[in-house]
Amino acid sequence: MVNRFALNAVETYRFETEMAAEQFHDELKSDGRFELVSWSITLKEDKKAEAEYYVVKIKKVFNTEKHLVNKYLPNCIENEFNYNLEGGSNNE
């Protein structure tokens, strides 16, 4: 197998409350597998459902092209990203 190194990932999430989004932000900041380089939160309104929700957009950096630190590979399994060493799976 050829070595692959994930450089970065851009992800978007939906939360029902601002508090839940902020808790997620705290979790991301303390995760040592990547550097959180971008974070934004936007309040959205669903007028038909008369409900509000929050959209969070993040960017994670694992490695730079010239400086490879982590061998974390994002594996898409059942619409979830699992970041594992050497491409293994958390679901096994």
pLDDT tens, residue by residue, 13-51:
999 999 999 999 999 999 888 889 999 999 999 889 889
72-91: average pLDDT? 46
Judge whether residue 72 has pLDDT over 60.
no
Residue of 25, 26, 24, 35 whose CA lies nearest to 70: 35
From the centroid of its chain, how far is CA 77? 14
Domain definitions of the chain by residue range? 8-85
Spatial contact of 41 and 58, defined as CB atoms under 8 Å apart: no
Question: Distance between CA atoms of 27 and 29, rounded to whole angstroms?
Answer: 6
pLDDT of residue 15: 96
Spatial contact of 25 and 77, defined as CB atoms under 8 Å apart: no
Question: Distance between CA atoms of 43 and 75, rounded to whole angstroms?
Answer: 29
Cα distances from 32 to residues 5, 19, 27, in angstroms, run 16, 22, 10
pLDDT of residue 20: 96
